[in-house]
Amino acid sequence: MERRRFLLFLAAGVAGTAVGRGTAGLVDPARAAVPTAAAAEPVVAPSPLPGVLPAPTGVVDRLPGEGSSLALTLDDGTSSEVVRSVCEFAEDSGVRLTLFPNGRYSSWEENGDRLQPLIDSGQVALGNHTWSHLDLTTLSKDEVAEEIGRNRDWIEDTFGVRTPFMRPPFGSHDARVDRISADLGHPTIVMWNGTLEDNRLLTPGELMAAAREWFAAQSVIVGHVNQPTITEVYDELVELIAERGLQTVTLADVWGTGLGGVRTTSGSAALT
């Protein structure tokens, strides 16, 4: 029932998309402010976005320049059920996501058949969150390189992509970590300027309160594919994004041409 209502809502949103796109992608603030599903602006961002930038070297915590983009980034993947649900959410809604998996969790491979088409189409981008989610600043140089390098190789072997993005677990990093990350092919250290606050188990109301506090133009939002709460608020998240006139983007939509491009394969051609 819930899922059907959600799909109907999306159908209403997509019906408005063609009209919105036809007006050069401009968001009319008056329309965007109307908090009804029927009048909501579409969530789906044009793809690929114009003006894709090279991946920067250094730390980023927001999207560059002016605009109405929102980067939803989801980390870890301790729950296979939540990973699967988020894949279905992306399929159903068209919402663009960046995922930062830890390869130690089997959830990613268990849902590989759902994830791969989303990755191949560019709707989902990946970043490196290290293999086993340790505080990198407490590790030796070799251990840091192992944590990042093992996960980099796993991402490439599993999903056929390279990514310039690295998010240190707990957001804990320093100049040494950043340098090792860059040497391993991840020059862009991705922090955030907004959060779903779901690194602990929240009620749906608590998660949506965080979303209402932090969802804003050009923000990078951190969340997790661990606790089930996010799976209970998809409708509300989509409505909030629409009400605020935001369009979801992946980090690769914004910074996609560094290091010869994020995706090392096109279509379903896999790397060996």
Interacting residues with Zn ion (CB under 5 A): 75-76, 169
Asked if 220 and 71 touch (Cβ cutoff 8 Å), the reply is yes
Q: Whose Cβ is closer to Zn ion: residue 76's or residue 253's?
A: 76
Q: Whose Cβ is closer to Zn ion: residue 75's or residue 243's?
A: 75
Q: Whose Cβ is closer to Zn ion: residue 41's or residue 75's?
A: 75
Residue 126 CA, distance from chain mean position:
8
Judge if the upstream peptide bond of residue 48 is cis by omega within 30 degrees of 0. Answer: yes
CB of 101 to Zn ion, least distance (A): 10
CB of 144 to Zn ion, least distance (A): 16
Select the residue whose beta carbon is closest to Zn ion and give its number.
75
CB of 169 to Zn ion, least distance (A): 5
CA angle at 221 for the pair 211 and 131, rounded to the nearest 5° = 130
Cα–Cα distance measured from residue 83 to residue 79, given in angstroms and rounded to the nearest whole number: 6
CB of 75 to Zn ion, least distance (A): 4
Q: Whose Cβ is closer to Zn ion: residue 13's or residue 169's?
A: 169
DSSP-derived letter for residue 144 is H
Secondary structure (3-state) at 263: strand
Q: Whose Cβ is closer to Zn ion: residue 75's or residue 239's?
A: 75
CB of 129 to Zn ion, least distance (A): 6
Strands 69-76 and 247-248: parallel
